[in-house]
């Protein structure tokens, strides 16, 4: 799976272009989030990082996360207090997160039409929207079919 590597390279290029510093700690934290299959929590990241870097403390992780969030390289999942690498940070985007209850997988969805509608709908209520948090919890295809198979066997 070459994707995590290219994601880091992309992040590096992006930071260079913006004149911000992609330091070893920031790089390493992004790598950890990117190579994990689901979302990661701050203190899990801390535990991992501390193994390689004894000086790591909560501020170490939260500063790295703040940086990565600001640069759009990582998204925060509010309903899980967890963090997910963005796989298309190069364009600004509104996004929706699909969270599986079964396996913990989190997928990033981009339905721009949806975002537009939300903004329009809020506008009718007098609100001008600057940030959207959209998190949809349910079951992914695998977990849905697995549940169906279990039900069948139980008969």
Partner DNA sequence: AAATAATATGATATAACATAACAATAATGA
Partner DNA sequence: TCATTATTGTTATGTTATATCATATTATTT
The helix/strand/coil state of 41 is strand
Tokens at residue 139, please? 């079951």
Selection from DNA, Zn ion, a copy of itself, none that 2 binds (CB < 5 to 8 A by kind) is: none
Please list, in sequence order, all residues whose beta carbon lies within 8 angstroms of the beta carbon of residue 72, skipping any fewer than 6 positions away.
86, 89, 92
Contact 107, 97 (CB under 8 A): yes
Minimum separation from the CB atom of position 86 to a copy of itself (A):
16
- Over the window 49 to 88, marking each residue x when it contacts a copy of itself by CB under 8 A and - when it does not, the resulting string is -----------------------------xx---------
Selection from Zn ion, a copy of itself, DNA, none that 48 binds (CB < 5 to 8 A by kind) is: none
The helix/strand/coil state of 1 is coil
Measured between alpha carbons, how far apart are the two ends of the chain, in Å?
Answer: 40
By C-beta, is 59 or 138 nearer to DNA?
A: 59
Please list, in sequence order, all residues whose beta carbon lies within 8 angstroms of the beta carbon of residue 139, skipping any fewer than 6 positions away.
100, 101, 102, 147
CB under 8 A: which stretch of 6-14, 27-35, 59-67, 126-134 binds a copy of itself?
Answer: 126-134
Give the residues lining the site for a copy of itself (CB under 8 A).
78-79, 96, 98, 100-101, 107, 109, 111, 113-114, 117-118, 121-122, 125-141, 144
């Amino acid at each position: 799976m070459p994707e995590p590597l290219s994601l880091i390279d992309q992040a590096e290029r992006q930071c260079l272009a913006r004149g911000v510093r992609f330091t070893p700690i920031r790089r390493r934290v992004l790598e950890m989030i990117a190579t994990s299959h689901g979302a990661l929590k701050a203190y899990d990241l801390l535990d991992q990082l501390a193994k390689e870097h004894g000086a790591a403390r909560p501020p170490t992780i939260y500063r790295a996360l703040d940086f990565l969030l600001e640069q759009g390289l990582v998204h925060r999942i509010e309903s899980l207090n967890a963090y997910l690498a963005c796989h298309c940070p190069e364009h600004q985007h509104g996004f929706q997160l699909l969270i599986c209850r079964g396996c913990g997988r989190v997928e990033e969805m981009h339905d721009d039409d949806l975002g537009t509608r939300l903004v329009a709908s809020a506008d009718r209520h007098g609100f001008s929207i600057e940030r959207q948090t959209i998190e949809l919890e349910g079951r992914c295809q695998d977990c849905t079919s697995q549940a169906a198979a279990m039900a069948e066997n139980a008969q």
